[in-house]
Amino acid sequence: MKFPLDQADAISVQQIRTYCTVVECGGYAGAQQQIGLATPTMWEQVKALEKRYRTKLFERVGRNIRTTPTGQTLYQMYKPILANLDSTFEIVAEQTEGISGEVRVCTGVRMMLEELGTVFGQFHQKFPDVRLRLSTGGDRVAQQSVLDGKDDLALLIEPPPNVLSKSLKVERLYPIEFMAILPRKHRLCKVEHLKLHELINFPLVVGNQNSVGRMALEEALHRLSLGPARIVCETDTSAVTAACVRANMGVGFVAGIPGQVNTPGLIARSLAEEVGRVHVVAIYKLGRQLTRVLCELLEMLRMNS
């Protein structure tokens, strides 16, 4: 099927944005609340796109609608276009008005308490007119916050591809390794090179089943043909894991930079040899062009790991 070369000229940014919003909201009612257009107007814009592409973009399922396979493909192609276009205003403003404004970052509690504080301090010294707005959240919360435009970027442990939105771009920043954290009087503190077969004999405090660390631990136990771990507590942040270890609930399983793990009163032992390492990554909207300020922040994070 051939299309005239000027077909794209007849498509407006408003049509693209409306279509993407209808997809994300699962229908016209939710999209109306978000972008403030009347349902008939949005319906006409979607129909105009269907006419241009000569195919259906939505199909009805009961009282709801969902994208057709072609409609989903088009959505994935449109999202970077919108992100790129939206970022032009930030790039131009930075070049014409100077460096100012706000940088919004979502990250985990562990990273904020350990390695990020120094970097953010350096960033403030270099860009005193830029206001930092920091928030904390788990992987899913962080991803959604970036997709919704509430944060410019998120810093998190690199998630598996199957749990990462296709509308996000990932940049690796620095490696961290998995480790055990123990009370100072725990008998395993005498073991300099701790092994998993020694660890699983004790109660464990670990991340929840959806966490990267939990999946890495279970994969290592399976690979080494070790029995199931004695998990007594699941947490959603390493900071809570450390608090549980201090309360003598068990041995903690976390990830961090050796020598920088902020666990007062606790001892850290690397498990990288058996469980491995992961990367802290920055995620932001696919297609977005980063301002100089955001690029500088990411470079500082790489250099200070």
- Asked whether the beta carbons of 105 and 43 are under 8 A apart, the reply is no
> Is the model's pLDDT at 3 over the cut of 70?
no
70: β partners:
none
Q: How many residues does the chain have?
A: 305
175-277 has the same fold as 7-88: no
Give residue 272's pLDDT band: very low, low, confident or very high (50, 70, 90). Answer: very high
The pTM assigned to this predicted structure is 0.85
Pairing of strands 251-256, 204-207: parallel
Q: What is the distance between the alpha carbons of residues 260 and 237, in angstroms, rounded to a whole number?
A: 17
Domain residue ranges of the chain, discontinuous segments joined by +:
7-88, 99-174+280-303, 175-277
Query: For the domain bounded by 7-88, which CATH number is listed?
Result: 1.10.10.10
Question: Which runs of E-coded beta strand occur in the chain?
Answer: 58-61, 64-67, 101-107, 130-136, 153-157, 168-183, 204-207, 231-235, 251-256, 266-270, 277-285
Q: What is the pLDDT of residues 83-129, one digit of tens each?
A: 999 999 999 999 998 888 899 999 988 888 788 989 999 999 999 99
Take residue 30 and report the two structure tokens written for it: 């939710």
Q: What is the pLDDT of residues 12-22, one digit of tens each?
A: 999 999 999 99
- What is the fold of 99-174+280-303? D-Maltodextrin-Binding Protein; domain 2 (3.40.190)
Give buried/exposed letters for 264-281 (b at 16+ CB in 10 A, else e).
Answer: eebbbbbbeebbeebebb
Domain 175-277 is classified in which CATH homologous superfamily? Periplasmic binding protein-like II (3.40.190.10)
DSSP 3-18: --TTGGGG--HHHHHH
